[in-house]
Each structure stands twice: as C-alpha cells, then as structure tokens.
Amino acid sequence: MKKYLITSIITLTLFSTISISCSDEFVSPKPKYSIDSENYFNSKEDYNDALVAAYDLLQSTYANALLGEIASDNTLAGGESPTDVIGWQQVDDMIHTPVNSNLRDIWNWMFAGVQRANYILEFKDKTDFEGKTQLLAETRFLRAYYQFELVKWFGGIPMKGDARFKVGDEKTVPRSSVAEVYASIEADLIFATANLSPIASQKGRVTKGAAEALLGKAYLYQNKYAQAAASLNNVITSGKYSLVSDYDAIFEMAGENGSESVFEVQYTDVEGAGFTCLQCSEGNVAVGFSGVRNYSGPLFSSGFSFNVPTAEAANSFEAGDKRKNTAILDIAAWAEANKSYDNGKGVTFGKGNEDTGYFNRKYLPRKRSDNAQGDLNLTNPNNYRAIRYADVLLMAAEAYNRGGIDDAKAREYLNQVRRRAFGDNNHDISVSGAALTDFIWAERRSELFGEGQRFFDLVRTGKAVGKIPGFTANKNELFPLPIEEIQFANGNWKQNPGY
Amino acid sequence: MKSKLLLTVLLLFTSFAFSQSFDVSGTVLDGTGLSLPGVNVKVKTSSQSTTTDFDGSFKLLGVPKGTTIVFSYIGFRTQEVVVSAPKITVKLSDDTRSLEEVVVIGYGSQKKREVTGAVSVVDSKTLDILKPIKVEQALQGTVSGVNVTTQSGAPGAKLDIRIRGIATNGENGPQAIIDGYVGDLSLLNPNDIETITVLKDAQAAIYGTIAANGIILITTKMGKKNSKTKVSFNSYTGFQEASRKLPMLNATEYALLLNESYANGGKALPYPNASGLGSGTDWQKQVLGKSVPLLNSDITISGGSDKITYSISGSHLDQEGIVGSDKSGFLRNTARLALGADLSDKFKVKTNVIYTYFDRKTINENGLGSVLFNALNVPATLAPYAANGDFTLVPNTTGLGNEIINPLAQIANTYNDYNYKKLNGNFGLDYKIFKGFTLSSSIGFNTSNSEGKTFGKKISYGGKVFDVQRSSVTETATNDNDYSFDLYATYVTKIGENHNITATLGNTIYKQWGNSANATGFDVPNNSWDFADLSLTKGVPSALNTGGYVYDQRRLSYFGRAQYDYKGKYLLSAMIRRDASTKFGPDNKVGYFPSFTGGWVISDEGFFGESKTFNFLKLRASYGTLGNDQIPNNGFLSLLNGEATYVFDGNLVSGVATGQIPNPKLKWEQAKKFDVGLDLRLLSDKVSIVADYFIDTRKDLLIPDIPVSGITGVGAPGASAPTLNAGTVRNSGVEFAIDYKEKFGDNFSLSVGYNVTFIKNEVLEVNNGTGIIELGNFGVGQPAASRMQAGQPIGYFYGYKTDGIFQNQAEVDAHPSQLALGANASPGDIRFVDVNGDGVIDSKDKTNIGDPIPDATMGFNIQMSYKSLDFALYSFASIGNDMVRNYERVLSDANRLDYVLDRWTGPGTSNSVPRVTTGATANNVLSEYFVEDASYLRIQNIQLGYTLDPKVTQKAGITKLRLYTGVNNLYTFTKYKGFDPGASFGPTNKDGVSQSPIGAGIDYGFYPVPRTYLLGLNINF
C-alpha cells in the first residue's frame, strides 16, 4: 500500500512539474525589448526612421568616389606600399579580376542601399500619414541613386521591384539588362521630380532639383540628349542654384551645402569609427585615405596618401585656370611657401607608394576640431559634393550640343563655368559641333577633377582606350561582378565580358 | 519487496549463527601511516558493513573466521582482507586509477571498470602538483584528446579547451557542469575541485544539445563523514618573467640595415654615420617586467559526523602581469561552503555555494599597435625617455607609420578596470523511495554582476592613430543569471544473479537571462584617471553615447538512459535526450539525440584465463548524436537592431534598420561521434593503457556570419550575415595513454604517464555557394589570410608558395611575371610558385601554405617520491601546428628581427630571406615566407617538495607540513621565432564570445605566458 502511495506521489510530482513548467511554451518567449522587422511601419515616425537608414548608405559611396578617380587617368592608387589595399592597386593598373574585395564593397554597399529603400517600399501601403508621398519620393530617389551607381560599375543587376531580396534570390532572380535598370531609375526619378519638395526640409535631404539633375545625368549616360537637356534645364531655370564665385571656397567646410550644391552626401566627425566597419563611419573615409602621409603644417592634417594625381593630370589644366590650385596640392611648393609656419617648423610630410608630389586637394583632410572622434583618418567631416550646379551646367551643355539641339545654349552654359574658372571672359569658347563637344569634355575633367566622375565620363564617351593606362576595350567598361556573387548565384548570373 | 529483503537478511543471520564467528575491530591507515576516517568496511558475502570513525578504527560484530572484508575508499585501492584474528590493521594504498573508483558520467556515476565511453579523469592530486592559476591549465598534457591553448599570457586571460579537435565555426569549448549544473570552470578556485571528468565521446549524449564539444564534469570537494575537522592551508608565492625575448636588431645593426634598404630603393642614406650608435634601447627589456609577483593562498576546513559533512574554503590570488605589471593585473578571491546532510535514511540534501570576485586590468595586446607589437617595431635608436623625463615620441614619419608609438607611454596612458562578482551553487535533494529507486532533484544557479570602466585620456603621440582629442570615460554594467533545474529518477535493479540494470529518466530546465548598460561621458576633469567617472563628466556628447542589451534564452530537455550488464562482463547502455531551445525557429526548436555505448570485459572471459601479465582488458565502443546550439540569439528573426545614422542639418540623426539577416530554417548542429577503445591493465595494475580511435563528424555546421550574396543588404552598417547550417567538418584520430606506477621498497615510488593524440581535421563541405569562408587579418590592407574549404583543414592559411630567392636578373626574366602581386620582381626578391601553371603569378596561384591545427599533441609526466622528498615534472608537446608571423610592421623604418642579417645582398648570399629595400616589392604578401612551423615541447611544470616527518609535526598538532619549490613554464623547445608557439586563436565572432577557427594562428606579438618560480607550503592540521 505504502509503495503505491509513494509511487503515486512521485508520479504526481513529476507530472505536475512537467506540465506546469515544462511545456514547449517555455522555450518560445518573445524576444524582449526588440522590434521585429516584419511588424513595423505603424506610424509616420517608423517610416521616417527607416528612411534615415536608406540615407545612411550614401556615406559608403566614399569608396565609389575614391575608386572612380583611381580607376581613371587622373590619379594613381598610391598608399603605403604596392600591396596596400591591393584591390585599389589592381584597379589603378586595370589588372583587376573578379577577386577584389574593394569592388565587392561597392557591390555590397550599394545593394544595401537598394535593400533599405525597398524595405520601405515593400511596406509602403501599410500605414497612411501626411507627407507620405514626399517620403516615398525621397525613398525612390535613393533607390535610383544606388542603382545608378550599380549600373555604372557593374552593368545589369538583379532587381526585384518593391521588395527586399532574400537569401536564395541570387539563384533565381536574373540580372536585368542595362536598359531595364535605367528604366527603373528613370521611373523612380520621374516620380521623385514630381513629388519632391524643391526646398530641403533639412540640409542633406534630397530635393526636386537633385532628382531632376540625377535624372538628366541618367539620360545623358544613355545618350538620350533631348530628355537630358530638358531635365537638366529645369534645374538651371529653377533659379534655386548658382555658381559660387570663389571656386576654392566650395571645398572648405564653410562652403558645404552652398548655393552650388544640388546634392551633397553629408558627413560629420563627432562619432568615432574603426577599420572593421568602414561603411559604418559617419565621416568621409576617402578623405583620410587621400591625405598627405605624416603631414604636419598649416590647413591640412595627415592621411594615407592614396589617390595621388599624376603629373599628366596636374599639367592638364590650362594656363590661368584658377581651379588647378584648388584641385591639386603640389606638396613641395606648399612646403616651400609655408616655410615659416609654426615658428619656422614649416611643413613636414612623408612619401608613400607611387609618390608624385601631388594630392587631391579638394578632398584632403583639413585641421580637425577638438570634438573630432578617432580614428581621425576615418572620420573626416568633408561632405562629398555629389552633384554640383557646375556639373549640371556642363551636363546640360553636353546634352544640348551632342543632341544637336542648341549649341548656343551649350556654349553659354560651358562659358558660365569657364568664366568663373579663369575670372574673365577671355577664355570663352566659341566653336560648335564636335569641336564644342571636345571642349565640354575637357572642361568636365578640369571642373570635376578629384570628384569621382572621370572614369565614368571616359567610359560613357568612349574615350577610355588609350587614355587610361591598361584599359582594355570591351572589358574594362564595366567592372567584374565579385567572384563570390558569381558563385552564390550558381550559374544564374553571367560574369561581365572579358573577366 | 521489503518483506523479501527482510527474509534474506534473516536467512543470512541464521546462517552466521551456525559458523564460528567473533567481533573484529581494527584501524585503517593511509600510505603515510595516518589514520583514515570514513573508509567503507564491508563483509564481502553479506550486507554487513560499517565505516571507520575519526581515528580510522572500526568494529564488525559476529564475523565468521575466514570471512573476506572489503575496505574501500575513494582515491584508494580497494583492499580485501581475510579475517584470521579479532584485531587487524589495514594499510590502504592510494590509487586514483583504481578500477573500482567511481566515475561521474552525468546524472549518475559508474565504476571505472564498467565505463563504456571515452572518459578521462583528473583528480585533486594532479591539481595540487600543477598549481594551476586557472583550472583549464590542469588539463594541458594530462588528458589525451584535450588541447588547451591560452589566448594570452596576461593574468586572468581566457584559456581555450578543445576536446578532440576543432569542429565548428562558433564556440568550440566544452560545456562545464559543476556538481550537476551548467557552470563556468574558468572562475573556480582550483583547490576547491575534487575531480575533473572529461566526457569525450557519445557518453556525453545525456547532455544532448550542449554536448557536441564534449562535457567537463567538475566535482567540488565535500567533507567526509565521520572525520575530524581537518584544516588545510596552502600558500605559494611566485616570481614571473618572460619566458622568451625576441632577438631584435640593435641600434647599429638597425641603422646599417636601413642604409642598405634606402640605398636599394635609390634614396639617401638615413644614417650616413652609423658609428657611435651602439646597441641603443632594448625595448623588450623596457617593457617586460622581471620578478613580477604572484601570490596565492587558500584554506579549506572540512569534516563530518555520521550524518553531516561540511567543507568551507576561501582563496586569494593576486597576480601582476609581466607586461605593464599592475596595469595588467588579476586579483581573485573565492569563498565556498559545501554541506551535506542525511536527513533520514531516505532523504539526503546537499548544497554547495561559491562566491567569486575578481578584478582585472588589461593593456592593448595581440593586435596592430598593441604594446608588444610596438616594443618589437620601435627602433632601438630611440631612447625611451627624453632629456626632460617625458616619454620620447616616435617620429611621425612614413617610415614608422602612424601606429607605432612608444610602448612605455602606451602602458602609462592605459587606464581600465573590470570587476566581476558571482554567486553560484546548487541545492540538491536525493530521496530513496524504495530499494534501488532514487529520486534526485537539484537546482543550480549562477548570478553575476560585472562592472567595467575605461578611461580614454586626452593624449597626443604626435599625429598617431592613438591620439585622443577628447577625454572620455566609458562604464559598463552587466548582469548575467542562469539556473538549471534537474529532476530525475534512477532505478537500479538486478534480475536474477547476473543481469544488472540501471535506468535513469528525467528532465532539465535551463534558463539564462541578463542585461547590460553602458554609457560614455566626455571631458573628464583634470584629464585624470582619478576623476574618471560618469558622475564627474559634464561634456555634451555629440553622438549616441549609451547602449545596452537584454537577453532571455531557455532550454527544456528530457532524457533517459538504460544501462545493462551481464556479470559486469558485457556492458551496454543507451541514451536519448530531447532538447528544445530558444536559439531556433518554431519549426526546428526540438532535437533528439540518441546514443549507444557498449563494452566487453574480455579479461573476465573463461578463455582469457588468469593471465599473469594482463589483469584487465576491456573493449568498448560508442556511437551517438550530440548537438550544439552555441550561436548568437534570435538568429531566426529579423530584428531592427542595425545601424541607421545619417547627418541632417549637420547633426547626427538615428533611424532604424535591420540587423542580422534572418535564417528561419536555423536548426541544430549535429555531431556524430564514433569511438572504439581499449582499456588495458598489465602487471597487477602497474601499467594501465587506454587507447581510442574516434571519428567526430559535425553535420549542419552552424556557421555564424557566413558570407551570403550582397543583394540581401548584408553589407549595410550594423547588418550581419546570417548563421546558416552550411557545412560538415570531420575530426578523426587516435588517442593513446599509458601510465606506469611502481613502488620500489617502502621509500621510493615512481609514476610515469605519457599520452598522445593524433587528429586529422578535414572540412567536408561548405554549402554557402562559394564553398569558401575567409577570415583572418595579415599585414595592413591585405586580403583575408585564412580559409575554410572542403578537402582542407579548417582555417588553413591561404597564400603563395615560395621557391627561394631570385639570385639574378636572368632568373627573374625566366620566371612568370609577379606584377599582379604588387610589383615586378628584382634579384633578391622572393620567387613565388606558379601553382596553376598559367604562366603568370596572380591570386589564382594562392594555395594551402599551412594550418594552425597540430597533427599531434602529447603529454609526458613523471612523479617520484623518495622518503620525504617528492618530485614532479609535467610536459606538453604540440607537433605540426603552423603560425603566421604577423608582428612585423612592414614599414621601411620599423625595427626587425635579427634573421634579416642573413638577407640576400647579392647572388648566392641567401635563398631564404629577401633583400631589403624601400622600393616596391611583392615580398610582403602572405606567402610561405611568413608561415613558420610552431611545433613545440614545453616543460610546463617542475616541482620538488619536502614533507616534514609527520611524527615530529604531529606533536605541534600538524598532520602534514610540506614545503615545495617549482617552476611553471620552465622552457619551451621550438623553432618558432615569435613569443609563444602555443598562441593560436582566431578573430572574435559576432557573438563577442567565441573565436572563429578561421584566422587562428596569426601572431600579432602575443603576450607570452610567463615563466614562474614558485615557493610554497601546505599545512594540514
């Protein structure tokens, strides 16, 4: 009897313990203090916060600007040694292959931007609120901006509409054609031009003018001159933008977000950064990388001596062009001129790999504030002037000229830029037709030197062969898809020709 | 049932009545002649038994003449005595390797002779000799199949235990179970430990999902029943020094080398006059301390009555570091209370509570710009101090880069403190419900609080990356808790005479939860550590300066085990465990882990006979599935914990973004473990041999942060790659251990042990599309150094093969172009091998150039005692592990190791060390030139002790007084050039806890494990 009693007590104890505390419910707690991405977008704030995330990736385009310059005939890779950031060194020499972590960064970061924009667009119908159209227009501008970068660098890319990519999509979603990508970019930007406010609610937000300029640029890249001219002319006639009379002032801190700024990527140095996540930096990483090695002296601070202009590039400026001294720092001359600095200590600096004595002065690190957080090389606050009004004028000039629409207008826009550069009207261009085209292209190099445009200008105009050392036609117009992506896709995506 | 028992007892007693019997009394003594209380004294043929009292004496009533009495006691060889007189004295010889010894196997225990899994035990005696500062050290070289590597020689640094190799990308360390509950062995006072039991194979399957990396069962010391209060006091003091200094260039050699290098690069000589520079500064001498103190004391008070046992202990450890002395110090205090009580014949309770406090300070180590890295790279031409007593600034030049700073200044400006308080323990209850049936319940817990503080002093090193523009102090407070609740029943029965059955059934609930908060304050008053506290900082932050996290993870498990043996000759056991874990998504929460073990005691077979040589031979085998769930939390969910910061109107604005890419299909990692082993005893137990062959295959490998296509947005700030079940790794190998123990006369005893483990590691598949996972940094701005790839060992080094040095231009011209590596070759440069034979040297020629996994590890140990003297030596060897030399900053003006003196300077001068030049070369890409064989043999511990004659000391009430001296980490034999060939751990995974095996074995100037001279004493009274 006693035995049964005990047995039943045990059974009861076991049973109750198991049934009370041990059901599988125990192992399904809701994660505390965390927000599930699939149950989001319940208020205007939610959308706004997600939009900040889409903007965030603009800061990672420092890599595009820097490498766009290195890839061109403007600058050499430089750095500490020939093996320092080997991916950049190879692009500089046009011997890059699909094995290149720096090209992969650009792929990954630009797609991250697309993905963050698509996160909002995937849920665009979930919650309604005032100002939603403006928010969606900003979102679509950003998606177009990232996709434009991708199509410039890699050609056709996979697209999934207003939906995020999931792991596995790389095996099923095909690469769209270049035309399809541009169609998507155009659609996004047409929506953006129609719905964006002409005036930014905050410095750094995209505007109608930015969308029109980017749309014009996208048309120009497809040689759609009439549409390009129309869209760019809208920017010019909007009256919102003007050339800054002192070219040099544009690139100093005080010149940020000035009257010439159509679209500008915003940076700051109040938050620290490290090498393990360069895309996380709130600073312009390209600037520290372009700095003069071990520099000590006035105005600038030191950096890693990448992206050094060649002598050919430095000599490409016409005599009397005031832009040269803004674009190119001749370090020896600078040291000579500042001999007396700091009680005669003067300027000291080191020499890196492929030293030419020249530096990309527009985006050199300036002296830093006491608030600047380290690693100082990675947190330079210099904004990237992504689309300047001068660029819009030159693009418009090119569209009017090459489209055979209006050479007079083209000359006028070109000469506006030249008059500022030379400080007089004596350098105005008066030719027409193909000769004018050549002047416009030459002007682009001088005006936009060091701003990451050169390689793509040469490629889209078919002038890269012979100009860029090592450039192979029908291959180097595009960069290779990262080897990893080809492997992930498992046959779904073909490598770009020649790689 | 009960009535049957009574009947049996009654029958037995009746039988006694008919034979000649008398009362037997006596004393039981240990090897040194001291009385042994608590010894189990049992009549072999009946259930009559007793235990010895405080004085080691016992009495058995009415024992027939000729009866065999069995004396058994944990840690001593069981002895049988045939009764011939009413008074007997029995001397038990201590033998931890006794086959009758009881071994814990998880939710139960087994006699050693009946164990069917691969199980190794390290007991308190070994711990006593080794004097480990941390428990893990005691497993190095003492247990086959176990490899212990240290992450640093810094006091309090983590040690890694690897049981039978490296099998997964995340956490590879075994789970420690302390007195039945999930715990952390690294924080224990080694002197509180009675035994460490290592479950290496499918035997561990009773722990299911936490067992894939092996299980380490820790039994802490309990008091002994019927024993007088025993006080044991141990103390030692030690002096530490670096076990190795690297041969660097002195100032003159350095200047001449630079001149040559600059000349080769076509530049002006930096030292036109190198005479008079002398030898300059020996930076290592400046940085590495001598006679750095170490102090450890502990006291244990234990004893027991016939119902209650107790053990109380405390310990204090204070260690300074050989680099940075008190700036890398470790202080640990522990206190412990263990109580056991028999409440009745049926109820037993047990509790064991440990309090641990430690305080640790660290310096920058093991990375670019770490203190030792700087000590190796600062030129000897620089003096440590300027004339005014300030630290010399390392010039900010291209040749010295912007990371190399004065390591002494770096130490002086390092301020941090971390302290940790923990209470852990358990309460257990055993309830014997009826004969053979026991219900056990236990709750174990860990609860800890830790606080960390780091002060970032405003400092300028003259334009280096370590310059701090604004002073700040960061404080972190973390609270971690967990509990394990076990409830299980054990039933032991016998069917007939020969069929023995033990069945165990139960469940375990485990929950861990905690939170952490951190904040950074700016503008510390007076820029001083003395004022570095959040309460004093008033600086307005410009960016988000707070952070934190919470977590709640749980596991629910049911398990069952059946053990059967026939006459103790044929042994079988089967286990199954069902685990449900919060780490996995709804569809894959639950996993089942079955396993089987079997054994055959061949020496018990009739055909085996009574061999003189072989006194025991057992063949055993096991197979089972074990699991691993050690991955970051919430991997199946997409959470908005990414980074989304942009600048509007010049100010930082934070939004939200997704973090880790989710993998809703996340499931268990499975370890399929097979083991076949042999236990052999020869020459009346003098020689014991254990040999095992094993195959451990990990399937559905949980690979954290596995590369996936960039279209998923994995490259975004704060985003990370998912954890995927995407690979298979196999470790197979052989373990062999032999121990020899002999007594020569009364005065001299010797024991020798040797064990060796051969492991072959091979990745069988990586299913992420690329088939490759890359990690590990080499140099600056260079591609990942290590890979995981099918057909190769995990984490092998991926680089270029070399074929000597180009001796002349003709050789360069005859060889494929090396331009793609960075520069065209010149005579004196490294000749790389065109592995794929395509006529050009490029990244396609990269291949396996070594791996950090040893082919074999072994331990060799000797213990001797002669009269009052005792001597012990422990050594460990690791063979076939490679290491990448990565502590040389490849800059024109950095100091170098003296092997560059043998460099190429012209045809025929060297075929191994390339020329020096400031010009462009590809000599610094990762190649065989940087991979070194880091095989080593280390004398880990050598000790000589002297025990005063107990007869003399006993007059002073001291039962034992032993003085000893020893050296830990006496010497390391190796060809490796760096500080420590044992340094092998990879980059930290995203979970912030585990290290990836990919990227292991890359040496940034490892903080070397110190050599320690010890002087100590043990007193018992």
Looking at the structure, tell me whether residues A184 and A328 fall in a common domain: no
What ipTM did this prediction achieve? 0.94
Per-residue pLDDT, A3: 58
Say yes or no for a CB contact (<8 Å) between A115 and B713. Answer: yes
Contacts of A302 in chain B (CB under 8 A): 396, 402, 463
Q: What is the DSSP letter of B1018?
A: E
Long-range contact set of residues A14-22: C-beta below 8 Å, sequence gap at least 24: A14/B487, A14/B489, A17/B487, A17/B507, A18/B507, A21/B509, A22/B507, A22/B509, A22/B556
Domain end residue (candidates: A347, A368, A384)? A384
Tell me which H or E stretch contains B124.
Answer: helix B124-130
Q: What is the mean pLDDT of chain A?
A: 93
Per-residue pLDDT, A21: 52
Domain tally, chain A: 2
Looking at the structure, tell me whether residues A68 and A181 fall in a common domain: yes
Structure token pair of residue B695: 């195959």
Say yes or no for a CB contact (<8 Å) between B649 and A203. Answer: yes
Instruction: Yes or no: say if B719 and B658 are a contact pair by the CB < 8 Å rule.
Output: yes
Say yes or no for a CB contact (<8 Å) between A6 and B780. Answer: no
Distance from CA of A372 to the nearest CA of B (A): 7
Q: Per-residue pLDDT averaged across B812-840, rounded? A: 91
Per-residue pLDDT, B539: 84
Residue of A nearest to B402 (CA): A294
Residue of A nearest to B780 (CA): A84
Per-residue pLDDT, B933: 94
Q: Of B206, B204, B210, which Cα lies nearest the Cα of B555?
A: B210
- Optimal mutation site among B442, B634, B647, B916, interface A, most CBs of chain A within 10 A: B647
Domain end residue (candidates: A384, A402, A422)? A384
More confident position, A447 or B545? A447
Contacts of B402 in chain A (CB under 8 A): 294, 302, 377
Residues within 8 A of A (CB atoms), B 741-770 only: 768-770
Looking at the structure, tell me whether residues A48 and A189 fall in a common domain: yes
Say yes or no for a CB contact (<8 Å) between B710 and A107. Answer: yes
pLDDT, tens digit (0-9, with 9 covering 90-100), for A295-349: 989 999 999 999 999 999 999 999 999 999 999 999 999 999 999 998 998 999 9
Q: Per-residue pLDDT averaged across B752-767, rounded? A: 93
Asked whether residue B95 carries a pLDDT value surpassing 70, the answer given is no
Instruction: Yes or no: say if B448 and B408 are a contact pair by the CB < 8 Å rule.
Output: no
Instruction: Report the DSSP pairing between strands A306-309 and A302-303.
Output: unpaired
Instruction: Report the DSSP pairing between strands A302-303 and A292-293.
Output: parallel
B900 phi/psi in degrees, rounded to 5: -70, -15
Asked whether residue B4 carries a pLDDT value surpassing 70, the answer given is no
Say yes or no for a CB contact (<8 Å) between A112 and B715. Answer: yes
Per-residue pLDDT, B589: 87
Cα separation, B634 vs B641, whole angstroms: 11
Say if B547 is an interface residue toward chain A (CB within 8 Å).
no
A143 phi/psi in degrees, rounded to 5: -60, -40
Asked whether residue A375 carries a pLDDT value surpassing 70, the answer given is yes
Q: Is the peptide bond before A162 cis (omega within 30 degrees of 0)?
A: no
Q: Per-residue pLDDT averaged across B262-288, rounded? A: 89
Say yes or no for a CB contact (<8 Å) between A270 and B634. Answer: no
- A240 inside domain: no
pLDDT, tens digit (0-9, with 9 covering 90-100), for A418-475: 999 999 999 999 999 999 999 999 999 999 999 999 999 999 999 999 999 999 999 9
Q: What is the DSSP letter of B818?
A: -
Looking at the structure, tell me whether residues A284 and A188 fall in a common domain: no
Instruction: Yes or no: say if A293 and A351 are a contact pair by the CB < 8 Å rule.
Output: yes
- b/e sequence B218-254, b meaning 16+ C-beta within 10 Å: bbbbbbbbbbeebbbebebebbbbbbbebebbbbbbb
Q: Per-residue pLDDT averaged across B722-730, rounded? A: 91
For chain B, which residues make up each domain, given as ranges? Answer: 19-91, 786-1020
Q: Which of B463, B712, B783 lies nearest to residue A115, judging by beta carbons? A: B712
Asked whether residue B834 carries a pLDDT value surpassing 90, the answer given is yes
Q: Which of B582, B783, B890 lies nearest to residue A81, judging by beta carbons? A: B890
Say if B661 is an interface residue toward chain A (CB within 8 Å).
yes
CATH fold label, B19-91: Immunoglobulin-like (2.60.40)
Say yes or no for a CB contact (<8 Å) between A111 and B715. Answer: yes
**Please, which pLDDT band fits residue B881 given cuts at 50, 70 and 90?**
very high
Asked whether residue B385 carries a pLDDT value surpassing 60, the answer given is yes
Asked whether residue B6 carries a pLDDT value surpassing 50, the answer given is no
Contacts of A205 in chain B (CB under 8 A): 648
- A122 inside domain: yes
Helix, strand, or coil (residue B250): coil
Residue of B nearest to A115 (CA): B713
Per-residue pLDDT, A270: 87
Q: Of B134, B104, B140, which Cα lies nearest the Cα of B219?
A: B104
Structure token pair of residue B804: 């000597």
Q: Per-residue pLDDT averaged across B850-871, rounded? A: 91
Distance from CA of B352 to the nearest CA of A (A): 24
Distance from CA of A483 to the nearest CA of B (A): 8
Contacts of A93 in chain B (CB under 8 A): 819
pLDDT, tens digit (0-9, with 9 covering 90-100), for A248-304: 999 999 999 999 999 999 999 988 888 889 999 999 999 999 999 989 899 999 999
Residue of A nearest to B713 (CA): A112
Q: Per-residue pLDDT averaged across B498-518, rounded? A: 92
Say yes or no for a CB contact (<8 Å) between A490 and B769. Answer: yes
Name the residue range of residue A374's domain: 278-384
> How many CB atoms lie under 10 A from the CB of residue B463?
18
> How many CB atoms lie under 10 A from the CB of residue A431?
12
Contacts of A92 in chain B (CB under 8 A): none
**Please, which pLDDT band fits residue B10 given cuts at 50, 70 and 90?**
very low
SS3 for chain A is CHHHHHHHHHHHHHHHHHHHHCCHHHHCCCCCCCCEHHHCCCCHHHHHHHHHHHHHHHHHHHHHHHHHHHCCCCEEEECCCCCCCHHHHHHHCCCCCCCCHHHHHHHHHHHHHHHHHHHHHHCCCCCCCCCHHHHHHHHHHHHHHHHHHHHHHHCCCECCCCCCCCCCHHHCCCECCHHHHHHHHHHHHHHHHHHCCCCCCCCCCCCHHHHHHHHHHHHHHCCCHHHHHHHHHHHHHCCCCCCCCCHHHHHCHHHCCCCCEEEEECCCCCCCCCHHHHHHCCCCHHHHHHCEECCECCCECEECCEEEECHHHHCCCCCCCCCHHHHEEEHHHHHHHCCCHHHHCCCECCCCCCCCCEEEHHHCCECCCCCCCCCHHHCCCCCEEEEEHHHHHHHHHHHHHHCCCCHHHHHHHHHHHHHHHHCCCCCCCCCCHHHHHHHHHHHHHHHCCCCCCHHHHHHHCCCCCCCCCCCCCCCCCCCCCCHHHHHHHCCCCCCCCCC
What percent of chain A is predicted at pLDDT more than 70? Answer: 95
Contacts of A7 in chain B (CB under 8 A): 433
Looking at the structure, tell me whether residues A302 and A188 fall in a common domain: no
Contacts of A113 in chain B (CB under 8 A): 716
Say yes or no for a CB contact (<8 Å) between B890 and A271. Answer: no
Per-residue pLDDT, A5: 58
Say if B712 is an interface residue toward chain A (CB within 8 Å).
yes
Q: Which of B434, B542, B823 lies nearest to residue A3, judging by beta carbons? A: B434
- A496 inside domain: no
Asked whether residue B273 carries a pLDDT value surpassing 50, the answer given is yes
> How many CB atoms lie under 10 A from the CB of residue B530?
11
Domain end residue (candidates: A367, A384, A401)? A384
Instruction: Yes or no: say if B152 and B1006 are a contact pair by the CB < 8 Å rule.
Output: yes
> How many A×B Cβ pairs under 8 Å?
307
Q: Which of A53, A164, A296 lies nearest to residue B644, judging by beta carbons? A: A53
Say yes or no for a CB contact (<8 Å) between B819 and A95. Answer: yes
* pTM flag (> 0.95): no
Q: What is the mean pLDDT of chain B?
A: 88
Per-residue pLDDT, B50: 84
Cα dist from A358 to A284, A309, A355, A442, A453, whole Å = 20, 6, 8, 20, 19
pLDDT, tens digit (0-9, with 9 covering 90-100), for B97-134: 566 778 888 888 888 888 888 888 888 888 887 778 88
Q: Per-residue pLDDT averaged across B15-44, rounded? A: 72
Say if B992 is an interface residue toward chain A (CB within 8 Å).
no
Say if B624 is an interface residue toward chain A (CB within 8 Å).
no
Contacts of B651 in chain A (CB under 8 A): 268
Instruction: Yes or no: say if B462 and B479 are a contact pair by the CB < 8 Å rule.
Output: no
What is the CATH classification number for the domain harbouring A138? Answer: 1.25.40.390
Least confident of A30-34, A201-205, A222-226: A30-34
Pick from B88-92, B230-234, B958-962 the range whose average pLDDT is largest. B230-234
Per-residue pLDDT, B51: 81
Question: What's the angle, vertex CA B455, arms to CA B454 and CA B459, rounded to 5?
Answer: 140
Looking at the structure, tell me whether residues A184 and A321 fall in a common domain: no
Q: Per-residue pLDDT averaged across A3-12, rounded? A: 58
Say if B843 is an interface residue toward chain A (CB within 8 Å).
yes
Per-residue pLDDT, B15: 41
Structure token pair of residue A65: 């600007």
Per-residue pLDDT, A224: 97
pLDDT, tens digit (0-9, with 9 covering 90-100), for B201-229: 988 888 888 888 999 999 998 888 877 88
Per-residue pLDDT, B17: 42
Q: Per-residue pLDDT averaged across B742-766, rounded? A: 90
Q: Which of B544, B714, B770 lies nearest to residue A487, judging by beta carbons? A: B770
The angle that helices A433-447 and A389-402 make with each other, rounded to 10 degrees, is: 160
Q: Of A479, A441, A449, which Cα lies nearest the Cα of A73?
A: A449
- Optimal mutation site among B640, B711, B714, B929, interface A, most CBs of chain A within 10 A: B711
Q: Which of B580, B639, B819 lies nearest to residue A35, judging by beta carbons? A: B639
Contacts of A153 in chain B (CB under 8 A): none
Distance from CA of B925 to the nearest CA of A (A): 7
Question: What's the angle, vertex CA B647, arms to CA B641 and CA B651, rounded to 5?
Answer: 105
Structure token pair of residue B722: 């998912």
Say yes or no for a CB contact (<8 Å) between A489 and B709. Answer: yes
Q: Give the torsion sign (CA, B387, B268, B261, B921).
A: positive
Looking at the structure, tell me whether residues A286 and A168 fall in a common domain: no
What percent of chain B is predicted at pLDDT more than 90? Answer: 45
Asked whether residue B13 carries a pLDDT value surpassing 50, the answer given is no
Structure token pair of residue A322: 């005031």
pLDDT, tens digit (0-9, with 9 covering 90-100), for B916-942: 988 888 898 999 999 999 999 999 889
Per-residue pLDDT, B7: 44
pLDDT, tens digit (0-9, with 9 covering 90-100), for A135-176: 999 999 999 999 999 999 999 999 999 999 999 999 999 999
Residue of A nearest to B779 (CA): A84
Contacts of A95 in chain B (CB under 8 A): 819-820
Instruction: Yes or no: say if A448 and A456 are a contact pair by the CB < 8 Å rule.
Output: no
Structure token pair of residue B927: 């190649």
- b/e sequence A316-337, b meaning 16+ C-beta within 10 Å: bbeeebebbebbbbbbeebbee
